[in-house]
Amino acid sequence: MKNLFYYLSLIFGLLMLSSCDPNQDANGDLLVGMDYNPNTNPGGGTVTPTKLLKKVTIDDEGDIMTYNYTYNSDKKLTAVTTSDNSIKIDVTYLASGNIAKIVRTENFAGDISTEEIVPVYTSNQITKLNVTHTETGGSIKSIANLTYAANGWPSIVNEDVFGEDNTSVVANFVSNLSYSGNNVSRWNFKSKLNVGLPVPVFDFLQELELTVNLSAYDNKINPYNLLPKDYLISMIHAEADASSITGFAKNNAATINVIFNLGGTDMEDTQTATYVYDNDGYPTTVTATSIVTKFEYQ
């Protein structure tokens, strides 16, 4: 069971990774060969991305995890897998090019959980996410409604989690995102359980608040921003993926401040990330404290 460790790992991921914001189209296609809009905040570069993110390897003092990204012949992301097979994500598409469904399967020491995400589009923009969470104890559903900022990225994600009767809202999760130009400056995530209702025993159903402040951006390409925009947006909900949040920014943050509140107690940490880039301006390595993350492209 993930419980607190799940959220700590989410924070850990945000401390290790950076933010970004691509000009991908509403279908989630990678606009390879097209310029980003100029960034209005310091450090906003206009480098044109021509590569796809292939592999991310995180080395935490010898504890190594690799994420592999697979694409089809149309350069659409179709799968994400980890080196230890603990996580597998499958992405399928409609004939229109929009995402039909994302299925995320996690296997931690035989404890298997799945998450099926079906985005709902309005004028080729994701406005709702229908999510089914399945663990050993059963299956529950949630619905996330999205509001967008002027830059075309989500500013509010409001998710209701339903009980096993599929009618009673047992929990609510809200993400508020602020931007400075094309980069994420602040992400606040708050979860609340509804008093008096039976809450299913699911790992992510806990009350907490998480605030992440991102600053000191460079003017280089963010590796996670190379992932399809609609994929990143689809992954921002109750069980948010760290790469989703970091992918919302165009460039890479060097200063990451995290404030985590669980049970009324604040835990705060600030990290400084140091980047190494290739000749094309893509980060190849980012180091924060003793953790080294390496990126490979195709």
On the question of pLDDT at 197 being above 90, the answer is no
On the question of pLDDT at 274 being above 80, the answer is yes
How confident is the model over 15-33, as a mean pLDDT? Answer: 32
On the question of pLDDT at 35 being above 90, the answer is no
On the question of pLDDT at 25 being above 50, the answer is no
Kindly write down the DSSP assignment for every residue of 226-246, as one continuous string: GS-HHHHHHT-STT--HHHHH
**Average pLDDT in the chain:** 82
On the question of pLDDT at 37 being above 70, the answer is no
Percentage, residues of the chain above pLDDT 90: 58
On the question of pLDDT at 12 being above 50, the answer is no
pLDDT, position 33: 27
Q: Domains in the chain and their CATH numbers?
A: 3-297 (2.40.160.150)
Nearby residues of 5 by Cβ (< 8 Å), 6 or more positions away = none
pLDDT band for position 174 (cuts 50, 70, 90): very high
Which of 5, 17, 2 is closest to 258 using CA atoms? 17
pLDDT, position 60: 87
Read off the pTM: 0.83
pLDDT, position 91: 98
pLDDT band for position 16 (cuts 50, 70, 90): very low
pLDDT, position 5: 41
Four-CA torsion 185, 210, 23, 31, nearest 10 degrees: 140
pLDDT, position 231: 96
- Digit-coded pLDDT (tens) for 110-133: 889 999 999 999 999 999 999 998
Helices (H) then strands (E): counts for the chain: 3, 17
On the question of pLDDT at 195 being above 80, the answer is no
- Digit-coded pLDDT (tens) for 232-268: 999 987 555 656 788 999 999 999 898 988 888 898 9
Query: Is 117 within 8 Å of 98 (Cβ atoms)?
Result: no
Which of 143, 1, 29 is closest to 94 using CA atoms? 29
pLDDT, position 240: 55
